[in-house]
Chain A
Amino acid sequence: MIRTFDPNQVQYFAIAFSIILFIVILMLIRKRRIKEEYSLMWLLFSLVFILFSVWRQGLDVVSTFLGIAYPPAALFLILMMATFLIMIEFSMIISKLADKNKNLAQEIAMLHHEIEKIRQSINKTYGN
């Protein structure tokens, strides 16, 4: 018995998943679970996924252009690129946060010290 496939089946799934991904990201931004400035890459790449799931010849065009013999490999390439870029962006964000975090810690330490000094001088002037 020969199993028959609907040749478009995978495309339906691909379109459905990439649209769901796009909507989920929009929802997260709407609920302020992700800040806009950190979500640009996600939005960009979910749009790219939608593009390639709707435009069937897209992968062939891209793989021909890049000289990739097996078109689905181009899909993995795009995925990898997306993950890489997003992770690099995360590293940048983390570095910035770490720097701000350090500055805050230093500021807190100095303010704390300053408050102690003021408290001591008040106690000295007015007694307890």
Chain B
Amino acid sequence: MNQPKVLIIIPAYNEADTIVEQLEQIRLNNKDWDLLVINDASKDQTEELARNSGLAEVVSLPFNLGIGGAVQTGFKYAVRKGYDIALQFDGDGQHPADQISGLIQLVVDGEADVVIGSRFNRKNTGIKTHFLRRTGIKIFEWFSYMLIRQRITDHTSGFRAYNRKAFTFLASNYPTDYPEPEVVILLGKNNFVMKETFTQMHERKGGVSSIPITRGPYYMIKVLLAMFMAAIRSRIIHPEEEL
């Protein structure tokens, strides 16, 4: 593959405070990547700021779909425009832009179909997370290993690189609501190879987590159920199709 076409998908909901800085940070790292902001019907200036920056294409959803629907829009866009690699980069400033190329390189090298930027697969995680959140994350790790036998430590990471095969699959099969952990199962179930790489995270610069601590138990049950259902659902890609 000579010079793969790379699309950086930045789902954004009310990220006016940080969006331009985010785009600049990414742009600083590489001039060849195309940036795509999926504005999930933000109520603030996210759309105008992103558009006027001239750094990214902006696709605006007519109403709020949530992170799943927004990211999937990016995958659909990537399929139509013939990209080779799509990288999800949540627009809240948690992910360091200088680690994007590392994730992309692993996909380019064919190490995996999906590379997840993990906050947890090393001892020193850089940021402090609430212990309930850590517990939840451990439960996800154990549960998904039970279901798909691939060890993923950071199921909620919104920092992921996908090859064409993987994002084409997700363009037509992507869960909504709190999709990240479910996507791991969906991909594992359909025999996509996932790999994690450690990424240092920043404290979030703006916005709030999509998972407030108080709604943790509800979130856990909802997501574990969704993961379980994804695991017992029949495979979407059948083994013979892969040949």
A102 in contact with B176 (CB, 8 Å)? yes
Q: Is A39 an interface residue (CB 8 A)?
A: no
Q: Is B54 an interface residue (CB 8 A)?
A: no
- Identify the B interface with A (CB < 8 A): 38, 57-63, 65, 69, 72-73, 76-77, 80, 176
Among B57, B65, B72, contact of A113 (Cβ-Cβ < 8 Å): B57
Number of interface residues of A (CB under 8 A): 8
A106 in contact with B80 (CB, 8 Å)? no
B77: chain A residues at CB < 8 Å are 110
A106 in contact with B58 (CB, 8 Å)? no
A105: chain B residues at CB < 8 Å are 61-63, 65, 69
Number of A-B contacts (CB under 8 A): 33
A109 in contact with B72 (CB, 8 Å)? no
Known contacts A102-B65, A105-B65: A112-B72 contact under CB 8 Å:
no
Q: How far is the CA of A109 from the CA of B41 in the complex (A)?
A: 10
Q: How far is the CA of A105 from the CA of B59 in the complex (A)?
A: 11
Known contacts A102-B65, A102-B69: A109-B59 contact under CB 8 Å:
yes
B57 in contact with A106 (CB, 8 Å)? no
Among A102, A108, A113, contact of B58 (Cβ-Cβ < 8 Å): A113
Among B57, B62, B69, contact of A108 (Cβ-Cβ < 8 Å): B62
B58: chain A residues at CB < 8 Å are 113
Could you give 21 example pairs across A and B, Cβ below 8 Å?
Answer: A102-B65, A102-B69, A102-B176, A105-B61, A105-B62, A105-B63, A105-B65, A106-B61, A106-B69, A106-B76, A108-B62, A109-B38, A109-B59, A109-B61, A110-B59, A110-B76, A112-B59, A112-B60, A113-B58, A113-B59, A113-B60
B63: chain A residues at CB < 8 Å are 105
Q: How far is the CA of A113 from the CA of B77 in the complex (A)?
A: 10
**Minimum Cβ distance to chain B for residue A92 (Å):** 15
Q: How far is the CA of A108 from the CA of B73 in the complex (A)?
A: 10
Most buried by B among A102, A109, A112, A113: A109
B59: chain A residues at CB < 8 Å are 109-110, 112-113
A109: chain B residues at CB < 8 Å are 38, 59-62, 73
Q: How far is the CA of A102 from the CA of B76 in the complex (A)?
A: 13
Q: How far is the CA of A110 from the CA of B57 in the complex (A)?
A: 11
For the complex of A and B, 9 pairs with smallest distance between CB atoms = A106-B73, A113-B59, A109-B61, A109-B59, A102-B69, A108-B62, A105-B62, A105-B61, A102-B65
Q: How far is the CA of A110 from the CA of B60 in the complex (A)?
A: 8
Most buried by B among A105, A106, A110, A112: A106
Q: How far is the CA of A123 from the CA of B91 in the complex (A)?
A: 31
A112: chain B residues at CB < 8 Å are 59-60
Interface string of A92-113 (1 = CB under 8 A from B): 0000000000100110111011
Please give 16 more A-B residue pairs, beta carbons under 8 A apart, in addition to A105-B61, A106-B72, A110-B76: A105-B62, A106-B61, A106-B69, A106-B73, A106-B76, A108-B62, A109-B38, A109-B59, A109-B60, A109-B62, A109-B73, A110-B59, A112-B60, A113-B57, A113-B58, A113-B59
Q: How far is the CA of A47 from the CA of B69 in the complex (A)?
A: 42
